[in-house]
Amino acid sequence: MPLLTIHHKTEYRYAYPVAFGEHRIMLRPRDGHDLRVVSNELVILPKPVSLRWIHDVFGNSVAIATFERRAAALSFALRATVEHNPAEEFALTPDDPAYFYPFAYEDEEFPDLAHFIAPQYGDPDGQLSRWARSFLDPEGTTPTFKILTNMTHGIRETFTYRKRYELGTQHPLDTLQTKSGTCRDYALFMIEALRRLGIAARFVSGYLFVAGDGAPGYAGGGSTHAWVQVYLPSAGWIEFDPTNGIIGARDLVRVAVARDPRQAIPLHGTFMGAADAFLGMDVTVEISSADAGAET
């Protein structure tokens, strides 16, 4: 299996030593049949007085750190090696129950999917619903795969990737109206559009890796990233990346899944000090192929 090594370092800088509150860290890749964590090391400076690992409500690995020492810098450095063996791009067959839209989820699955189907954000004028329905064939049923791929590529081709420095993820209607945003904004927008069609979708946080020099037009390379998983009967959870137009798990390393982006924040914590004490944050991500020795 192909081996990938991930180096992720986040450092917070302050004008003078400050105290730190609890920090929650979601950086460890999420194991699955197509992704196996071979090794995982998290180094935190200054060293926390306690560090414990839990699984959250979605089964994600979360490290919780508490501190006693004051410091003018706080850094989190992850080094992980994973076996990454994504399946070939999926395709539904006419025998699959979700081949055509609309389709129905099984009665025994629906209660567990309900929170991934119900929209989480308002759409008072129906703009988001109209945008989602524009991918349906007005004459009758539409192949589900066609809806999902056209929506993924539609966002990629008609929206403009834009870095934002505000905290959080913008409202899906802001993404639609400006036709711009970050990968997290794109993922949330596509999730909310799919939910208005009654399709179960959830948010994924992780890493993007493109071997060699990467493909022209890709946003990132070795970088943190976010995308969408859609649940289809008989197919399960399938990845769709509207930022880069990727279908399936190729080049994507999952870290966390969640109903809402606010539940999958890579690093979250507080410090005690004056507001002007904070100078900035530096994030570096390097992903290398252990098989080829090539690094992005």
Least confident stretch, 94-103, 135-144, 203-212, 222-231: 203-212
CA distance 36 to 83: 5
Least confident stretch, 78-82, 111-115, 290-294: 290-294
pLDDT band at 252 (very low <50, low <70, confident <90, very high): very high
Range 140-157 average pLDDT: 95
Residue 31 pLDDT more than 80?
yes
Domains and CATH numbers, the chain: 3-85+264-289 (2.60.40.2250), 100-263 (3.10.620.30)
Residues 6+ apart with CB under 8 A from 140: none
**Alpha carbons within 13 A on the beta-carbon side of 206:** 28
Least confident stretch, 102-116, 203-217, 260-274, 276-290: 203-217
Q: Which helix (H) or strand (E) holds 187?
A: helix 183-195
Residue 293 pLDDT more than 90?
no
Global confidence as pTM:
0.92
Ramachandran area for residue 59 (φ above 0: left; ψ -120 to 50: alpha; else beta):
left
Most confident range, picked from 146-155, 203-212, 246-255:
146-155
CA distance 256 to 261: 10
Ramachandran area for residue 96 (φ above 0: left; ψ -120 to 50: alpha; else beta):
beta
> Cis omega (within 30 of 0) on the bond before 94?
no
CA distance 172 to 248: 23
User: Cα dist. 121→126, 174, 176, 263 in Å?
Assistant: 12, 11, 13, 15
Ramachandran area for residue 20 (φ above 0: left; ψ -120 to 50: alpha; else beta):
beta
Q: Is the dihedral of CA 243, 245, 248, 250 positive or negative?
A: negative
Q: List, for residues 153-184, the tens digit of each pLDDT value.
A: 999 999 999 987 777 899 999 999 999 999 99
Q: Are 247 and 149 a contacting pair, CB within 8 Å?
A: yes
Range 139-161 average pLDDT: 95
If you write DSSP's letter for every residue of 101-159 in order, what string do you get?
Answer: ES----TTTHHHHHHHHS--S--TTSHHHHHHHTTS-TTS-EEHHHHHHHHHHHHHHHS
- What tokens does 271 get? 């410090």
Residue carrying structure tokens 């890796």: 209
Q: Fill in the DSSP letter of residue 276.
A: G
Q: In the chain, which ranges are E strands?
A: 3-25, 35-45, 50-55, 61-66, 71-84, 100-101, 142-143, 160-161, 180-181, 201-208, 223-232, 236-241, 246-247, 252-258, 267-272, 278-289
The three-class DSSP label of residue 171 is coil
